[in-house]
Structures are given as C-alpha cells and as structure tokens.
C-alpha cells in the first residue's frame, strides 16, 4: 500500500499537469470556487479523469474480468472445514451449499453464466451508467424530464455511441486475453490515429504544429518500451486492442463535434450515448445468446448419445458471475470515468486529448502491475516511462 501511495505521488500527480496547457497560470482557489468552476476548468477535469480511470476503473474492471469463482469457493470451503468440525455445523454448511446451488440453477443466473465476461461487462457498464445518469441526481424526482432530454439527444450521439460500444467491447476482449500491459501498449497508437482521422476529415489546417506532431513519436515509443516484454502475444487480443484504439480515436473526434452541435454537457452526453450503447449491447448479447443456445440444441439433437458430455462441456464453458458488489463498483467507476472524459474532450483539442490519453494509459500499465502483480520493471521499461513523459511534456509546450 505504501508503494502504491508513493507511486501515485511520484508518477500520477505530475502527469496530471499535462492538461494545464490550456491555462496560462494555476491560481490558488478555495474549495468552493474550485467546485463551482470544475466543469469549465481543463486542469481539474483532466486531473480527475486521469486519477479515476487509472486507479478505480483499472482495478474494478480487471477484477471483474479476472474474477475466479471456483477459486473463491475453494477458499471458502477450506475456511468452513477448518472452523466447523461438529456434526451440526456440517449440516448447516450442507444446507448453505444446497441453497447456493439452487440459486445458481435459477433461470436468470444460468443465462448470465452463459454470457462471456467481456459481453457481460459491456452490458453492465452501459445499462448501469444509463440508470445512474437518470436516477442518481440531486433533483431525483425529475427523472422523467432527464429521460425525455436523453431521448431527444440520442439522435445527435448515435454515431459516437457506436464507437463507444466498440471501444469498450474490444477493450474488454483484449484485457481478458492479453492483459493490461499489452492492451494499453497497443492502444498507445490512439494519438497517431487521431491525427490521421483529423487529417482525413479536415485537412492539414486542422493539425497542430510540426513540433507537436513529432513529440507524439516518443509517447508511442515510450509506452511500447514500458511494457515490451510483460505479456505473451495473442492475435485475437491484439486485433481487439487495435480495434478499440481505432474506435476510441474516432470517438474522440466525433464526440467533440456532437457536444458542440448539441450544446449539452458531459453528463447529458454520457447519458445519451449510454442509452444508445445499452440498446446495442442488449441486441448483441441477446443475439449471441440465442445463437449459442440454438447451436447447442442442434448439436445435441444430432448427437443424442453424447448428451451428458455436451452438457458437461456447456457447464465448463459457462462464465461464473462475479459478486454484485464488484459489478456495481465496475459500473460506477466506468460512469465516473466517461462523464469526466466527455467533459474533458469538450474543453481541449482532439490531439491534445489523445496525448493525455496516452499518458493515462502508461499510468494504467504501471498501476496495473502494482495492483495485480507482474514482473519488475527492467531498464528498458524505466527508459520507456521517461520517454513517454518527456514526449508528453514536449507536446504540451509545442502546442501552446
């Protein structure tokens, strides 16, 4: 824990100053003034976004994707066997086991267990974020008004919502297959992809200075060096990471345009995009679940003699559901991160957002190793961290 606090103070906090390039000075403000000026202050919004995503979203997302129910059950059973030795307690434990087994056999639980963990996380994120945006509000009883405004804004944010869904879904697949380091190393290409999209949409006049563009190169090289030899390569996971990077870069560009055209804030934008993405998630999860069930039924009808083996394979392929508390924490962390993200993207240029995003991903790699383990940093890793930070500061100065 002490190492984590030192890491945040020495690495995370200095990087938060990257978003201060849009301000000429950093005046000392009272807490009340900072709170009132928060939505329009790029430094405060960018700092909060970076901190929430690197710490809370990284932990709860990875814990959700990597949750091992069997291991947790084995540990609980060992504790019960150690603490309970008399006949009466064994009967109580047996009754509890039967109750847990019956709860697992319920229809909603069985359906959730058949959904892949990336699909389940994506579905929970969007549906949960939409519900939080509608009902968790100081003016709680005016939820019908917020719902009506969200429905009206869905048309403006339909295209960004598609990119939002793809970015999250591909990112979950990549995290589950290749881990934090290689996922976010692959996604360090977001600033370069953003520059390419801006070039295709608006031409050369939309690009920053040549010095600022050159400073993006050490960012990409540094993030790659920081996690070069940490995770084994997987083709599907790598392709999912690149698909997420491309979708995220497109989201950075089109969401800023949608925010300007609609004139609404980050909270309303997240709510509108989460509503559209929830519909997409429900359709995708429903379609894949029906397809899997139909395919399994057809195979079982063709091979009736091997019904027992097919049922056992179905049980093995099912995905145990994480605890409800972990699911809620993952949704809350996601909602907070993306509300701040859309507030920040409205205040800065897309390429600036991409550069800050690259540094944020570097910090996710560092903190991810601290929280979930991994090999110690080599000299190449340390040099890569320095490269990325230097490149980000160079971009901050070159794009003033």
pLDDT (tens place) for every residue of the chain, 400 residues total: 444 454 444 444 444 444 444 444 344 445 555 556 777 888 888 889 988 999 999 999 999 988 876 665 555 555 555 555 544 455 455 555 545 544 444 545 566 667 888 889 999 999 999 999 898 877 888 899 989 989 988 988 999 999 999 999 999 999 888 788 778 877 777 877 887 888 888 787 777 778 878 888 888 888 777 766 655 567 888 889 889 989 988 988 888 788 888 888 767 888 899 999 999 999 998 888 888 778 877 877 776 554 444 444 444 445 577 888 999 999 999 989 878 887 887 788 777 777 787 788 788 888 887 887 766 667 887 788 788 878 777 776 776 6
Count of CB atoms within 10 A of residue 7's CB? Answer: 15
Locus of tokens 């947790």: 72
CA 110-114-120 angle, 5° bins:
105
Phi-psi region of 121 (alpha: psi -120 to 50; beta: other; left: phi over 0): alpha
Locus of tokens 């009272």: 30
The CA-atom distances, in angstroms, between 240 and each of 156, 174, 189, 367 are 27, 5, 13, 22
So what's the pLDDT on residue 315? 43
C-alpha R_g of the chain: 23
Strands (E), 34-153: none
Distance CA 32, CA 287 (A): 49
So what's the pLDDT on residue 73? 56
So what's the pLDDT on residue 346? 78
Exposure string of 230-254, with b = 16+ CB inside 10 Å and e = fewer, is bbeeeeebbebbbbbbbbbbbbbbb
So what's the pLDDT on residue 275? 93
So what's the pLDDT on residue 363? 85
So what's the pLDDT on residue 333? 93
So what's the pLDDT on residue 392? 75
Q: How far apart are the first and last CA of the chain?
A: 38
The set of residues, in sequence order, having a beta carbon less than 8 Å from that of 229 and lying 6+ positions away, is 375, 378, 380
Q: DSSP code of 187?
A: G
């Amino acid at each position: 824990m002490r190492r984590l606090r030192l890491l945040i103070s020495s690495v995370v906090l200095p990087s938060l100053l990257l978003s201060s390039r849009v301000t000429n000075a950093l005046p000392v403000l009272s807490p009340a003034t900072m709170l009132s000026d928060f939505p329009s202050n790029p430094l405060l919004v960018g700092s909060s976004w970076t901190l929430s995503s690197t710490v809370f979203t990284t932990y709860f997302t990875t814990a959700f994707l990597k949750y091992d129910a069997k291991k947790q059950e084995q540990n609980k059973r060992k504790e019960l066997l150690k603490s309970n030795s008399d006949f009466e307690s064994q009967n109580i434990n047996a009754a509890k086991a039967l109750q847990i087994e019956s709860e697992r056999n319920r229809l909603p639980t069985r359906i959730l267990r058949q959904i892949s963990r990336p699909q389940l996380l994506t579905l929970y994120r969007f549906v949960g974020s939409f519900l939080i945006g509608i009902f968790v509000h100081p003016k709680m009883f005016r939820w019908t008004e917020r719902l009506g405004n969200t429905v009206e804004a869905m048309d403006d944010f339909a295209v960004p919502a598609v990119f939002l869904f793809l970015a999250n879904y591909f990112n979950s697949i990549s995290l589950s297959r290749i881990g934090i380091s290689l996922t976010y190393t692959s996604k360090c290409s977001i600033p370069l992809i953003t520059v390419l999209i801006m070039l295709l949409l608006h031409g050369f006049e939309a690009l920053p200075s040549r010095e600022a563009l050159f400073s993006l190169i050490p960012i990409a090289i540094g993030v790659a060096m920081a996690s070069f030899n940490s995770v084994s390569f997987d083709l599907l996971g790598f392709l999912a990471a690149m698909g997420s990077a491309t979708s995220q870069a497109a989201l950075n560009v089109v969401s800023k345009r949608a925010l300007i055209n609609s004139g609404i804030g980050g909270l309303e934008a997240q709510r509108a995009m989460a509503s559209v993405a929830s519909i997409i998630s429900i359709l995708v999860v429903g379609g894949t679940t029906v397809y899997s069930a139909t395919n399994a039924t057809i195979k079982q009808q063709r091979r009736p003699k091997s019904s027992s083996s097919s049922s056992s394979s179905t049980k093995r392929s099912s995905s145990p559901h994480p605890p409800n508390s972990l699911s809620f924490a993952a949704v809350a962390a996601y909602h907070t991160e993306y509300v701040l993200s859309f507030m920040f993207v409205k205040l800065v240029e897309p390429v600036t957002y991409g550069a800050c995003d690259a540094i944020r991903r570097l910090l996710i790699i560092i903190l991810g190793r601290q929280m979930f383990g991994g090999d110690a940093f080599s000299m190449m890793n340390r040099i890569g961290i320095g490269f990325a930070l230097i490149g980000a500061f160079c971009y901050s100065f070159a794009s003033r």
